[in-house]
Amino acid sequence: VNGFGRAFRINIFGESHGDCVGVVIDGCPAGIELSEESFAFDLKRRQGCRLGTTQRVEKDYPLLQSGVFNGKTTGTPIIISFQNQNIRSSDYKNQGEIPRPSHADFVAWKKFGGYHDYRGGGHFSGRLTTGLVAAGVIAKKLLSPLKCSATLLEVHGQSDAVSAALAAEKNKDSVGGIIECRTTPMPIGLGEPFFDSVESLLSHAMFSIPGIKGIEFGSGFAAANMYGSEFNDPIIDKEGRTQSNHSGGINGGITNGNDLVFRVVVRPTASIAKEQKSINLKTGASTTLYIQGRHDACFALRVPVVVEAMTAIVLSDFIIRGTKNYSGSLE
């Protein structure tokens, strides 16, 4: 129930303040070169302890516990775990009873009957994205020469993301942002017409990242104010290359060979130092909440690499499943 993908399948496990977090990957072909060092670059991009992000910094050393032998994948399930070392659970002592507004505390309490590990957001924490990034590193290897690149376009409407984050933090507040992801060069024919359309599975993957609140492909919501003559992408050669890319590289759920382009919205962080209104779940009494602990004023700063990872996972799954369907020539 907590996994994603068909042929290239991932499951994540762990809690923010438990022993470890990690990922199980099933369906990775044998013979892919993999070592602890393969993960360093992308894991570093996800880490906090930069301006506008959390002061919690973890070593994020990947333990390759299964599925890798003599520096290559074996074709059997891969288990990668990361020890949690920099924990300050005392910051969360009241959080079991007083849910943070717009965080997962309230729904977790109701759904799991109060048995959930609430420390640092438990299983709902952004820390769980460490496993997603690790799986993404492997998916990116499978995808080569396709390259997924995500960038933070703006934070709170401003292109200077760090200044916007710091201004919010100074005011005991938080901000979100918009991330764009582009994949190139794209093959024609990935995806299915309806339920496994490329938009469907990418949206599924993106909304699995905590805090993503919206997605648009190509021109997205702006299409509502465009004429067909403006939106339609003129086809300029037999490979289907188009002059514009308002469709974001997908037609009928299927990749058309142009760059795959989409944007996601990251919400402002729920945990802010400003006082907030909540209730005590045990007594029902209204209460004022002052959140302690180390939080990202703007976790959007850390999310581009997670978006890339989930994109690579979706595309690898399509490729391994062989959804291209037709390999001949129409000439």
- The interface with ligand FMN within residues 27-86 (CB under 6 A) comprises 54
For the CB of residue 50, give the shortest distance to ligand FMN in the complex, in Å.
Answer: 12
Q: How far is CA 43 from CA 144, 195, 233, 278, 306, in A?
A: 19, 32, 37, 35, 9
Residue closest to ligand FMN when measured from CB atoms: 126
For the CB of residue 175, give the shortest distance to ligand FMN in the complex, in Å.
Answer: 12
Which of 247, 255, 271, 278 binds ligand FMN (CB under 6 A)? It is: 271
Across-strand partners of 12? Answer: 23
For the CB of residue 272, give the shortest distance to ligand FMN in the complex, in Å.
Answer: 8
What are 202's two structure tokens? 């990418």
For the CB of residue 94, give the shortest distance to ligand FMN in the complex, in Å.
Answer: 15
CA angle 216, 218, 222 (to 5 degrees): 70
Query: Interface with ligand FMN includes 295 (CB under 6 A)?
Result: yes
Please tell me the number of Cα atoms within 13 Å of 290 on its side-chain side. 0
* Segment interacting with ligand FMN, rule: CB under 6 A, options 73-81, 160-168, 237-245, 295-303: 295-303
Query: Interface with ligand FMN includes 121 (CB under 6 A)?
Result: yes
For the CB of residue 305, give the shortest distance to ligand FMN in the complex, in Å.
Answer: 9
Q: What is the DSSP string of 25-75?
A: EE-PPTT-B--GGGGHHHHHHH---STTS-S-------EEEESEETTEE-S
For the CB of residue 100, give the shortest distance to ligand FMN in the complex, in Å.
Answer: 7
CA angle 29, 11, 150 (to 5 degrees): 80
Alpha-carbon gap, residue 287 to 12, rounded angstroms:
34
- The interface with ligand FMN within residues 196-215 (CB under 6 A) comprises 209-211
Question: Measured between alpha carbons, how far apart are the two ends of the chain, in Å?
Answer: 45
Nearer to ligand FMN, 71 or 114 (CB): 114
Question: Residues 284, 155: contact at Cβ < 8 Å?
Answer: no
- The interface with ligand FMN within residues 297-326 (CB under 6 A) comprises 299, 302-303, 306
Across-strand partners of 11? Answer: 3, 24
Residue 290: φ, ψ to 5°: -115, 110
The pattern of x and - marking residues 130 through 149 that bind ligand FMN according to CB under 6 A reads --------------------
Count interface residues toward ligand FMN (CB under 6 A): 21
The footprint of ligand FMN (CB under 6 A) covers: 54, 103-104, 121, 124-126, 129, 209-211, 267, 269-271, 295-296, 299, 302-303, 306
